[in-house]
Each structure stands twice: as C-alpha cells, then as structure tokens.
Amino acid sequence: MDDPFRHHPNLRDRIAPADASFFRDLDLAELDARLVAAGQPADWRTPDDIREAGRKAVIDDHRGGDLWVFAYGSLMWDPAMIFAEVRRAHTPDHARAFCMWDDGARGSPDQPGLMLGIDANGAGSGCHGLAFRIAQDRIEHETFVLFRREMIAEGYVPTWVEVSTDFGALTALTFVADHTKDNIVPDIPIEDQARMIAVAEGDLGSNFAYLDNLRAHLVELDVRDAYVEDLYARVVALRGNSG
C-alpha cells in the first residue's frame, strides 16, 4: 500500500488519524440533546434525509475513480476520513472568509460571532490548503462521515473546485459559503470582523479561541494566509486594548 504522506512526510505527525477524531463516529442524537439543553432550537440542524440526499447527488455527479476533497479549515488537521494520499493544494477562485454568522456555538444573540468558510475570491490570491484523496472503494462511507460533519447545518454548499498541486491539477470537492442562506454574511469589513470575534462567546467557547486555534494550526502546517494573520493581529490588539 502506498504511503498517504509520501509527497509530504512532514505532515505525518500534524494530521490526526481518522480513528482519533471526534467526528469519525459522531453521535447526532447525543449532540442534539446537548445543544438543545444549552438553548439551541430542536431543529437546529439539517434533517438526516435531506443531508443524505444532498450527499448522494454529489456522489452521483462524481465521474468515477477516487475522489479528492479540498480542506481549508479544521479538515486539514482533523479530517476524520481515511485517505489514500494528501497533497498541498491551492485553489485560485476562493479565499478564506469569516462570513458565517454565529449566535450559538461561538457567539450569542447579544454578541454574535463569525465562523470560517471559503467564498468567491474575486481578484484575491486564492486559498492554500490540503487535498485528500479518498479511494474509490471508500467513497460511500468516507463521504457519509464528511457530510455529517460539514453539512450538519446550513451555511455551506458542496462545490467542485479546481486546485493546483506540485503533482498536477485536480478537481476536488469542498464546502463553499452558501449565499442563499441567511447565516452567510459576506463582505463584512475586516475591522468589524475583528470587533465581533474579539468579544463573542457561545456554547462551545470564545470566538477568539476558534480563530487562535485556526491560526496556530495553519502555522503548524506551514499554510500561509495573510488575511487570517491580519485578522488575528487586529483581534489581539482589540483584546489587549480592552484589558
């Protein structure tokens, strides 16, 4: 069997194995109970049958063979999927953006926070991340795990994007900000993003901790993102100035 890390052996100890991931065997009933007890509405997530129908439509659109997934956030260091290969990758048409309005997990109704997605990039520099190859005989279950995590609630649309790697161009599945959903708020000025993230806190902790964790993992994976660095510096300055 080929080594999944043969192109980038330095990533071996920086990406969690699937069986160590919280998301691998996620119990949605248990999660429902916990979040509802914390104040979330009972219908907080996408119904299972709708999520599965969306997944099957994406798989039906796949042209056969192995399937590539482009990761830009926590999927990079905690993919929860069994993969046959990982490559550093770049997509030119989308960029990271804190564009998902959050008034529960990392924010509150009084002080909403922002969560990460990727969005249409315009004339930007694109997005550096990782591409994971899922072997054909594992696609059914691994995409089930993937969609249960990424499409658990509204905000993303599964999208095929073109990515470049040092070993050739690929078409990969990723999850892009869905502008048809009310919780996607694009084009928030970065100074306003920083002000929100500096103070927001929700059921899963502070919005700053979420940003701090993202930045730390990007640094560890040697993935550069000037936008994340700029936003982080602004938030740190605001939190420092507020004492």
Instruction: Please give the positions annotated as active site.
Output: 150
Extract the tokens encoding 132. 């994971």
Distance of CA 13 to the CA centre of its chain: 20
Strand partners, 115: 100
Extract the tokens encoding 137. 């005989």
Instruction: In whole angstroms, give the CA distance from residue 181 to residue 135.
Output: 32
**Do strands 127-134 and 85-91 pair parallel, antiparallel, or not at all (unpaired)?**
antiparallel
Instruction: In whole angstroms, give the CA distance from residue 50 to residue 36.
Output: 20
Contact between 90 and 163 (Cβ < 8 Å): yes
Extract the tokens encoding 209. 């901790």
**Which has the closest alpha carbon to 158: 68, 43, 82, 89?**
68
Q: Where are the beta strands (DSSP E) in the chain?
A: 67-71, 85-91, 94-102, 113-120, 127-134, 156-163, 170-177, 201-202, 205-206
Extract the tokens encoding 74. 């926590």
Dihedral sign of CA atoms 19, 23, 28, 30 in order: positive
